[in-house]
Amino acid sequence: MKSLNRRFRRKDQATDVLSFPALPEPKTRLKTPYAGDIAISAEIAAENARTLGHTAGLEIKILALHGILHLRGYDHENKNDHGKMARREACLRREFRLPVGLIERAAGSRPRRRA
């Protein structure tokens, strides 16, 4: 994931999840619009899971949720976000009974390894 992060975000460090929104297409054969792709590092997910005391599967769910929110247009790194993504992620984590998410970890509430 380090090479993907370097190539697409110009950050020379590993990351746990990356989102790639779909390019707009004039006509699609899909009945449901294609949102894009999400890349998750299984290695970093497993490491985070060990550090945080939950399963790798649970960590992948947390990372997938975070990536999906980015595909929906949320961007916690944008100064105009004003916490919208963090609030939405927290609400959905409660609904899906998921533990602490990436944005909260970045704020220092739990240890994590992320770009």
Task: Write the pLDDT tens digit of every residue in 41-93.
Answer: 999 999 999 999 999 999 999 999 999 999 999 999 899 999 999 999 999 99
Q: Give bridge partners of residue 40 from the DSSP assignment.
A: 17
- Best CA proximity match to 72, nearest among 55, 54, 92: 92
Q: Report in angstroms the alpha-carbon separations of 11 from 3, 5, 6, 72, 109.
A: 9, 6, 5, 23, 23
Go through the chain and tell me how many residues it has: 115
Please give the structure tokens belonging to residue 51. 């550090």
Q: Find residue 37's DSSP bridge partners.
A: 20
Query: What is the topology classification, in CATH, of domain 2-20+36-106?
Result: Collagenase (Catalytic Domain) (3.40.390)
Query: Is residue 102 scored above 90 in pLDDT?
Result: no
Domain-wise residue ranges, the chain: 2-20+36-106
Count of beta carbons in the 10 Å neighbourhood of residue 9: 13
